[in-house]
Amino acid sequence: MLIMILLGKRSYQFNELHRSIESISQRMLTRTLRGLERDGLVSRTVHPTVPPTVEYDLTPLGRTFLGPLSALADWAVVHGPDIAAAREHHDAR
């Protein structure tokens, strides 16, 4: 989700993404990007420069997913605290 949301704003390079999402390991970032690419949601463009740069973008299909995604993200922003509260209340008993 974070990757998709970032790419929804602009293109990113690999390490740029990695820096923007510190909590993800390199391995998982690669795997996730490959999965998204495989599913046709993200495009991966290699620029044959030295050193090489790789540009990640949302595909048109990927962009259609931004709607449902922000519906989810907005919900999380509003109701996330409620869930945290429910959990604590549950733990307490």
Partner DNA sequence: CAGCATCCTACCAGATACTG
Partner DNA sequence: CAGTATCTGGTAGGATGCTG
Give the footprint of DNA on this chain (CB under 7 A).
13-16, 24-28, 30-31, 33-34, 44, 51-54
Q: Does 61 contact its own copies by CB under 8 A? A: yes
Whether the CB-CB separation of 46 and 52 falls below 8 Å is answered with yes
The partner in contact with residue 45, picked from its own copies, DNA, none with C-beta cut-offs of 5 to 8 angstroms by kind, is none
Span near its own copies by CB under 8 A; candidates 4-12, 24-32, 47-55, 64-72: 64-72
